[in-house]
Amino acid sequence: MAVTLDQTIAQKQHTFVSRVLSSQTFWVVIAVILACLFLSFATDAFATQKNLYNITRNITFVAIVALGMTFVIITGGIDLSVGSVLCLCSMVLAVTMHAGYSIEVGILASIATALAIGAFNGVLIAYLGFPPFVVTLGMLSVARSLAMVASNNTVVFQFGPDHDKLLALGGGAWVFGIANPVLYMILLALITGFILRWTKFGRHIFAIGGNEHAATLTGVPVRQIKVAVYMISALSAGVAGIIQTGWLGAVTTNLGTGMELQVIAATVIGGANLAGGVGTAFGAIVGAALIEVIRNSLGLLGINAFWQGTFIGGAILLAVLFDRIRNFRRSD
Amino acid sequence: MSVLELANISKHFGAIQAVNDVSFTLEAGEVVGLMGDNGAGKSTLVKMIAGNFRPSHGTMRMDDKELILHKPVEARQHGIEIVHQDLALCNNLTAAANVYLGRELRRGVGPFRILDYAAMYKRAGQIFAELKSETRPRDLVKQMSGGQRQAVAIARTMLSQAKIVLMDEPTAAISVRQVAEVLNLIRHLRDQGIAVVLISHRMPDVFDVADRVIVMRRGRKVADKKIASSSPEEVTGLITGAIEQVA
């Protein structure tokens, strides 16, 4: 029977199931579930309400920043400054509130700081052609230093008149006993997923990561979009900083040190490609979850904490290995 | 009335004179082959028509109105479409996404507008059918053959009512059968009254499909004549400089 041209064109090559099975994110989800099942049986402490509450909440800070990082990584960029920006934004919030301003003013100042830093990074990268690695490496140093300047390198733990409001914002559990940070994370993940899949902006982000030259030639506003993604990344760090401040109840200038690496690890484990063009919101969350489950399990299983780095590093390599194997098969 | 008229167009980059005092006209429904050796100024000339560069001197007129282009988007708004030599495709996106890149269809109201996947798949599928190309709108461009990739790039020019389609080496990297497909497509565009500028190194393609040939050498136009009154030997001579210039 002859197949007409129209039939060929209308044919869908991949079913929903085959697409899911071939995604790295799916296998990482399986890994997380298996790890959780194993830990529930192997230890008494894992499947307790308190431990699960802790895990889900600990995931959120890395996950929220990873959502922002996903935008940057899809365009083929990188943002190394997120840990320092998180610290600076926390500090701006803390210092502003400590000086007697309300929580609204504090959050506004903190968000404005984040957006200004993101815009600065973005303009250097998009308009002046600096390599993202270099610009954000510089900002990593600058933002941390500014946080020290702002606080005179002290610990801030009194947040003025709205002290309790801030602690409730980050430390409370307003809905069904789910920690507030988890709710923020879910909300932000939904927004991120929507933007990436359903908006023109999201489509253009993928286009830039796939072939920046092509995006420019077809009239995609590449520069503006690049500035926007670095602003989103810094904003996500700022938001995570605000929530973390409320949760911790104190801000020190080493908050978020080394966090950029965890965040990048989470995005990559979740299926984002550092070469650009690939990444999902769900992947960022799942990647963050896997890292946290590994950390938590090592503690519960009584394995020396010094091994943490080895296991997390192993997870990064393993996740990417799956991706390589799939690509080898395809290219055969 | 000519659809596009170039008058004394020049372009220099610093001390380098890429295009030097070139004039020609383009009529609706004609295919013009633009030939010349590497560095003769073909691409620079085409990029000025496509809005990538602004001419240093000279004017362009479209339908007897002066045409000043600052950006590629403006050229597109005037009905000038270009198929780039590297095709300008994003491998990580689907065929339909590539066809609509930069002019995505959306549905909804005001700020709440979302991508209209269904409509883009449908229209892209129709265009591929029209092009007689076995290209599936939902497939990633990464997995496609040279001919399919060409079809995706050409499909872009058919989204809107183009007046001029500029094609930069469309037959350079594809199989013989696909060359025939692309040449058919060029005739298809011509029959709709579109002016096609075909930049090519391949003499047989130009003599097969073009009505007129313009030859450039070292930034200057050295020939502009009907295909019927020229020959591959003459054009080769003009490209290499063995023949200085013809009227």
Which tens digit of pLDDT belongs to each residue from A260-272? 999 999 999 998 8
> For residue A308, is it within any domain?
yes
Which tens digit of pLDDT belongs to each residue from B68-106? 888 878 888 899 998 888 888 999 999 999 999 988 999
What percent of chain B has a predicted confidence (pLDDT) above 90?
A: 35
**ipTM score here?**
0.84
pTM of the model: 0.87
Contact B146, B175 (CB under 8 A): yes
> For residue A200, is it within any domain?
yes
Distance from CA of B112 to the nearest CA of A (A): 9
Strand partners, B213: B33, B225
Do A207 and B136 lie within an 8 Å CB cutoff?
A: no
Give the range with max mean pLDDT: A160-174, B113-127, B171-185.
B113-127
Q: Does A158 touch chain B (CB under 8 A)?
A: no
Q: Strand, helix or coil at B198?
A: strand
> For residue A42, is it within any domain?
no
> For residue A40, is it within any domain?
no
Q: Does A249 touch chain B (CB under 8 A)?
A: no
DSSP A128: S
Do A210 and B91 lie within an 8 Å CB cutoff?
A: yes
Extract the tokens encoding B95: 């065929």
Residue A83: which CATH number? 1.10.3470
Nearest C-alpha in B relative to A214: B88
> For residue A36, is it within any domain?
no
For position A1, what pLDDT does the model report?
44
Overall number of domains in chain A: 1
Position with higher pLDDT, B209 vs A179? B209
Q: Does B63 touch chain A (CB under 8 A)?
A: no
> For residue A197, is it within any domain?
yes
Extract the tokens encoding A184: 């923020």
| pLDDT(B1) > 70 | no
Average pLDDT over residues B187-197: 87
Distances (CA, A) of B163 to A141, B51, B62, B157: 54, 15, 10, 10
Ranges of chain A with pLDDT below 50: 1, 332
For position A17, what pLDDT does the model report?
75
For position B134, what pLDDT does the model report?
83
* Chain A residues within an 8 Å CB radius of B137: 9
Q: Which fold has domain B1-79+161-247?
A: Rossmann fold (3.40.50)
Q: Does A10 touch chain B (CB under 8 A)?
A: yes
Distance from CA of B140 to the nearest CA of A (A): 10
Its domain, for residue A97, covers 55-331
Provide the greatest CA pair distance for chain A.
80
| pLDDT(B246) > 50 | yes
Position with higher pLDDT, B170 vs A93? A93
Nearest to B139 among A13, A198, A217 (CB): A13
Which tens digit of pLDDT belongs to each residue from A299-331? 888 888 888 889 888 888 887 887 777 667 655
Distance from CA of A138 to the nearest CA of B (A): 31
Q: Which of A141-145, B185-189, B193-197 has the lowest mean pLDDT?
A: B185-189
For position A12, what pLDDT does the model report?
67
Do B115 and A214 lie within an 8 Å CB cutoff?
A: no
> For residue A22, is it within any domain?
no
For position A3, what pLDDT does the model report?
62
